[in-house]
Amino acid sequence: MRIEPADVSFERVAERHRPMLLAWLSEPHVRQWWGDPDVELGEIVDGCANGEVDGFVFHVKGEPAGYIQSWTPSRYDEPWARDLPSDTPGVDIFIGPPEMTGRGVAALALRAFAGRLFDDGAARIVIDPDAGNRRAVRAYAKAGFVPFGEWIDESGRTLLMELTRTEFERT
């Protein structure tokens, strides 16, 4: 199935999405990188409710395909984010249904979501995958994100990647 940018749509997370998000967070390909499904679901729901994150279920050709959120890294105790401007959004994403992985869906959804963030005034977007998550790193690179640093701590190695408005508009 060929997927085009126009095939991607976003729906703000709502109460009715909870069972689907929990099921997705319980999938091995998501849980490996996101952690305990109940804890992560609670953080998504609470973050969306209190405005810490702007969370969406994204659809491809009308079918729910995953979760994506924007947040402001400089607001948190992320050592790597201390020097980021307060208007630099961070993005997190996962593909829900296992059969949708490895098909370019994440890169396409990221591009579409980045376009929304740039339209809202962002000059730069960052994403912070675990450096061992090769599938995610490849998808983010395909979406136009490039490495700008790394952070190593007790939880492992985080690759810091960015997409600037200038680079986005060139590709």
Q: For residue range 12-70, what is the model confidence (pLDDT) as tens digits?
A: 999 999 999 999 999 999 999 999 999 999 999 999 999 999 999 999 999 999 999 99
Which domains are seen in the chain, by residue range? 5-170 (3.40.630.30)
β-strand partners of 126: 90, 162
Q: Which among 97, 50, 85 is positioned nearest to 69, based on CA atoms?
A: 50
- What are the pLDDT digits (tens) for 88-104? 999 999 999 999 999 99
Can you give the pLDDT at residue 139? 96
Taking the C-alpha atoms of residue 75 and residue 61, their distance in angstroms, rounded to an integer, is: 35
Q: Angle at the Cα of 59 (from 53 to 60), degrees rounded to 5?
A: 140
| Nearest-10 Cα torsion for 44, 157, 109, 78 | 50
Can you give the pLDDT at residue 155? 81
Please report, rounded to a whole number, the percentage of residues in the chain having pLDDT higher than 70.
99
Q: Say if CB 73 and CB 88 are below 8 A apart.
A: yes
* The model's pTM: 0.94
